Structure 1
Amino acid sequence: MAIKKRSATVVHGASGAAAAVKNPQASKSSFWGELPQHVMSGISRMVPTLIMGGVILAFSQLIAYSWLKIPADIGIMDALNSGKFSGFDLSLLKFAWLSQSFGGVLFGFAIPMFAAFVANSIGGKLAFPAGFIGGLMSTQPTQLLNFDPSIMQWATSSPVPSTFIGALIISIVAGYLVKWMNQKIQLPDFLLAFKTTFLLPILSAIFVMLAMYYVITPFGGWINGGIRTVLTAAGEKGALMYAMGIAAATAIDLGGPINKAAGFVAFSFTTDHVLPVTARSIAIVIPPIGLGLATIIDRRLTGKRLFNAQLYPQGKTAMFLAFMGISEG
């Protein structure tokens, strides 16, 4: 009697679906229903990296320009080379330079972290490296190879990075690709390690390389260039309208789809160094601060309590957490 060998298939992505849905309409709705969860999974893991990098960068600026009073038009390295600082002030300036350098490196890891965890959410841990590579290539794209007929030689040029847009696209595509390959490529048990540690990583890395070089980097770079052109042409009025729109969309739908869409746009512009995330950060904390403050001043202003007894301690908690950028208090 023939003995059936167990199929060597690795556990799939975080969606938990063991088998593909046979109904095309259900599959399509499932895709669009799960996609926001995958994207938010990446954003939630990118935010700590942004916070760490942003806070450490802020320390460097505070030390250099507020404490040591360096003129705003002079960089920290120029201040170090000026010879005007010594002793403790020189040590502080060195620490400011280290914080600036380290914070910038951390900030640069935000997009690769986002792409890696989106891919991981879709295709499991096997998709993590492909997502990370794609995210890294979205911020540090491979140079373009061009033939210059005037000198009859090949030369390289630097493309416009696709940044957040490119990372989003490649992480989703790579995640589903790895998930599909893991399901379709069936090997005997003794080749399982070869499949998971060599075959799937190599195939996914080659795909990411080709997709980023030929499709996603040109497309994402074109979009980024257009956005920068529009915002630059609009000047301060354009930045003001952007800030008002992001803040309003954030505050009216905390935790909902509108809020998530606003966060996606805000983080995209922030990681691309186009516009700061200040408007969204303020909109996140104003509602809980306002509600918490209302539970403190209601009796003083109206002479009576306006809320249920259980809401008063919750109001204080909400206001405390709001100062740390948390609106769910």
Structure 2
Amino acid sequence: MKLLAVTSCPTGIAHTYMAAEALQMAAKEAGVEIKVETHGSIGVENEITEEEIRNAHAIIIAADTKIDKTKYEGLPIVEATVQDAIKDAKTLIEKAIRLEKEKEDIERSSIIHEGRTQSKKGPYQHLMTGVSYMIPFVVAGGILIALSFAFGIHASENEGSLAWALNTVGGGAAFALMIPILSGFIAYSIADRPGIVPGMIGGMLSSQIGAGFLGGIVSGFLAGYIIVLLKKWIKLPKTMEGLMPVLVLPLLSSLMVGLLMIYVIGTPVAAMNEGLTNWLDNLQEGSAIILGLVLGFMMAFDMGGPINKAAYTFGVGTIAAGQSSSVMAAVMAAGMTPAIGIGIATILYKKKFTSEEIEAGKASLILGISFITEGAIPFAAADPIRVIPSLMVGSGVAGALTMLFKVKLAVPHGGIFVLPIPNAVEGVLLYALSILIGSLITAIMVGNLKKPIE
């Protein structure tokens, strides 16, 4: 028996490959062959061929982003999230095997865990698809802007200089594309390729009229669902069907999205966006600390899941204009703390961990300093009652401290590797201290709460 699988998470960094590994291990235990195609940040790897599809018994799609299933038509499909694959790969493998054994005459099957469906459909999946395509633009643009600061905080104002060129590429190009890309691929997730044109046009209009990040999200959903409705409403003769994707759909959808953004949606969303910006700018010390605490809890609660991504997306939105952000500083500090804290715990409390966990702790430490929260997932999955609260407390403290110290960050990713860049971080020593304190709190709590290994 041969099974196939596809894994894909919004960032395409850690969850994608952890899910793939979990499925491979579960398949090996079950005595079945499996090939896993990963949709990571560098593209599709280990791609499934047409011949393998013909010879397969079933396929598992563990994804939080849009996966084109047309190539698997006629093959039984088990759908799940990457978290399901990481935490319960055995059940997914068993379900796929059972589909073949029972010879079920279906194209798709859904696995249901206790009290909840397997995959997050609808708005969450669409938003995460947009975010996954947006993140490389945000990261590349943010780091280029930060590098321009290395020549002086105002060096980019000198037209023709290297600092100006770096800032132009990062802010003028990469950041300018960020909202259109977000909007366009939200629409793509909803309506496939026809959604990209009105989605990106809506996102560009959102940038131009000041509706910003929030407007991009609204225009993406608007464009996607308008395309879906137009496909249902407009029926052309067969001889003219070729006009639908190249003329009718892009023209009508772009017109509708554009007019709605300019005359109806843009103004209130722009006001909301401005209000949010003003609220963040005017936060009093106490309120800012509470916000940092809450963001820290969110970053550590599901370590790369929807709550973590919501906090990260909020942080990215605050630097959309290419400005330093205290919110982004809190988010990145809180996202680094769980994996670093776990790594420190495996060093300080070796009797509480197996030899395999101690080795995994070294990898977790490296992932943590790189701002990859997912390094803590295996430890949280093995002992959630003790580990997750410890991670949340440490991350909450790190987030709150960055707010207390009024640290600001101009980069949306990069971990400690952006700290040496001059002017990328306002208050770099206090920022490093916040991360260290949060990580030590996590390590101490984990070390004291976990029971010794017998």
- Settle same-fold status: TM greater than 0.5: yes
Structure 1 segment 67-78 matched on structure 2, within 5 A: 72=153, 74-78=154-158
1:97 to 134, 149, 164: 164
Partner of residue 314, structure 2? 265
**Residues 37 and 163 of structure 1: CA distance in aligned 2, closer, same or farther (over 3 Å):** same
Task: Determine if contact 1:124/1:179 at 8 Å carries over to the other structure.
Answer: no
1:141-189 deviation line (CA, Å, top 9, x unaligned) = 2xxxxxxxxxxxxxxxxxxx11111111111111011022223322233
Partner of residue 122, structure 1? 190
* Separation (CA, whole Å) in 2 of partners of 1:108 and 1:281: 22
* Separation (CA, whole Å) in 2 of partners of 1:175 and 1:16: 18
TM-score normalised by L of structure 1: 0.72
**Residues 206 and 44 of structure 1: CA distance in aligned 2, closer, same or farther (over 3 Å):** same
**Residues 295 and 318 of structure 1: CA distance in aligned 2, closer, same or farther (over 3 Å):** same
Moved more, 233-242 or 199-208: 233-242
Task: Determine if contact 1:111/1:136 at 8 Å carries over to the other structure.
Answer: yes
Task: Determine if contact 1:130/1:174 at 8 Å carries over to the other structure.
Answer: yes
Q: For 2:219, what is the secondary structure of its paired residue?
A: helix
**Residues 256 and 108 of structure 1: CA distance in aligned 2, closer, same or farther (over 3 Å):** same
Task: Determine if contact 1:14/1:124 at 8 Å carries over to the other structure.
Answer: no
* Separation (CA, whole Å) in 2 of partners of 1:15 and 1:219: 35
What is the Cα deviation at residue 14 of structure 1? Answer: 5.8
The runs of 5 or more residues in structure 2 that have no matched partner are 1-65, 74-116, 376-454
Structure with the higher strand share, 1 or 2: 2
**Residues 234 and 169 of structure 1: CA distance in aligned 2, closer, same or farther (over 3 Å):** same
What is the Cα deviation at residue 291 of structure 1? Answer: 0.8
* Separation (CA, whole Å) in 1 of partners of 2:224 and 2:67: 11
2:141 to 24, 37, 53: 53
Partner of residue 413, structure 2? none
Task: Determine if contact 2:155/2:164 at 8 Å carries over to the other structure.
Answer: no
What is the Cα deviation at residue 221 of structure 1? Answer: 1.3
- Cα RMSD between the aligned structures? 2.8
The share of aligned pairs that are identical, in percent, is 30
Instruction: In structure 1, give the amino acid aligned to 2:127.
Output: V
* Separation (CA, whole Å) in 1 of partners of 2:146 and 2:193: 34
What is the Cα deviation at residue 45 of structure 1? Answer: 1.4
Work out whether 1:169 is the aligned partner of 2:218.
yes
What is the Cα deviation at residue 247 of structure 1? Answer: 1.9
* Separation (CA, whole Å) in 2 of partners of 1:177 and 1:16: 22
Instruction: In structure 2, give the amino acid aligned to 1:295.
Output: T
Instruction: In structure 2, give the amino acid aligned to 1:317.
Output: A
Work out whether 1:43 is the aligned partner of 2:111.
no
Instruction: Kindly tell me the number of residue pairs found equivalent between the two proteins.
Output: 262
Partner of residue 291, structure 2? 242
Task: Determine if contact 2:188/2:196 at 8 Å carries over to the other structure.
Answer: yes
Task: Determine if contact 2:179/2:207 at 8 Å carries over to the other structure.
Answer: yes
Task: Determine if contact 1:14/1:122 at 8 Å carries over to the other structure.
Answer: no
Partner of residue 285, structure 1? 336
Partner of residue 242, structure 2? 193
2:231 to 162, 165, 182: 182
2:275 to 208, 222, 226: 226
1:318 to 360, 364, 384: 364
* Separation (CA, whole Å) in 2 of partners of 1:198 and 1:237: 55
2:349 to 269, 293, 298: 298
* Separation (CA, whole Å) in 2 of partners of 1:35 and 1:222: 23
**Residues 237 and 15 of structure 1: CA distance in aligned 2, closer, same or farther (over 3 Å):** farther
Task: Determine if contact 1:231/1:238 at 8 Å carries over to the other structure.
Answer: no
Q: Which has the higher contact order (CA 8 A, sep 6+)?
A: 1
Instruction: In structure 1, give the amino acid aligned to 2:182.
Output: F
